Structure 1
């Protein structure tokens, strides 16, 4: 009898290659963002899409705060169209980063999601910046 894992057959290697390659065009991870920051390779704008109060409590160093509800053509007019935005929210329990990515893509900006958000950043052992720079004690609010 097959395991639960094998009860649905795996995709062919060709399909898996296409699927996982495609995901990499839409996502990045906390480790790659951190390494890029440490190496001075800042060819993207890191955007915390949470509410202002959540951002003030603690955010990824180098991020700007741009709640997804503010993302309009007028608000983004100062950014060149080829600006790569890397968006994140509180973590995988929140879809704020997805909402922001939809708005940015609709406005024809390139966009990637930083998987894991603030929770992922903390899971990697990286520190936050901000007034209270919480570490993982009481969870992370999105306030978006």
Structure 2
């Protein structure tokens, strides 16, 4: 009798390749995001889509706070066309990053989700930046 892992056969390699390559077009992980930010990457904008209080309590360094419910065409027009946005929220138990990605995609904007969110960031051993003062340009409020 096969184990629960092997009870359903693995997909053929060509199907698995298509699936896993497609996932990478939707996701970035915390390690790659950290590495990109540490090396001064400017080819994406990292959006913390949690509320301002959670952002102020600690966020990924370099992230801009834009709660997912406040993503609008007017706000997103502040960035050049074609800007890649990477969203994150609290962690795997939170779907805020997914909600933000839906809003961005509906606006026709390139988007990926940083899987793991704050929980994944901390699990990798990376530090959070301290909060910001109201009006700080890194936080975009309604």
Common topology (TM > 0.5): yes
Partner of 2:4: 4
Partner of 1:75: 75
Please give the alpha-carbon distance, in whole angstroms, between the structure 1 residues aligned to 2:63 and 2:104.
Answer: 16
Structure 1 residues 56-76: Cα deviation after superposition (integer angstroms, max 9, x where no partner): 000000000000111111121
Displacement after TM superposition at 1:123 (Å):
0.3
Partner of 1:113: 113
The runs of 5 or more residues in structure 2 that have no matched partner are 133-142
Structure 1 residues 12-71: Cα deviation after superposition (integer angstroms, max 9, x where no partner): 001100000000000001110111111112210000000000000000000000001111
Q: Secondary structure at the match of 2:75?
A: coil
* 1:1-144 paired onto structure 2 within 5 Å: 1-131=1-131
Contact 2:55 2:131 in 1 (8 A): no
Displacement after TM superposition at 1:106 (Å):
0.4
Runs of 4+ displaced beyond 3 Å:
none
Number of residue pairs the alignment of both structures matches: 132
Contact 1:81 1:108 in 2 (8 A): no
Q: State the superposition RMSD in angstroms.
A: 1.1
| TM-score when normalising by structure 2 | 0.90
Partner of 2:138: none
Structure 1 residues 113-134: Cα deviation after superposition (integer angstroms, max 9, x where no partner): 00100000000000001239xx
Q: Secondary structure at the match of 1:34?
A: helix
- Worse-matched range after superposition: 73-82 or 29-38: 73-82
Please give the alpha-carbon distance, in whole angstroms, between the structure 1 residues aligned to 2:39 and 2:52.
Answer: 28
| TM-score when normalising by structure 1 | 0.89
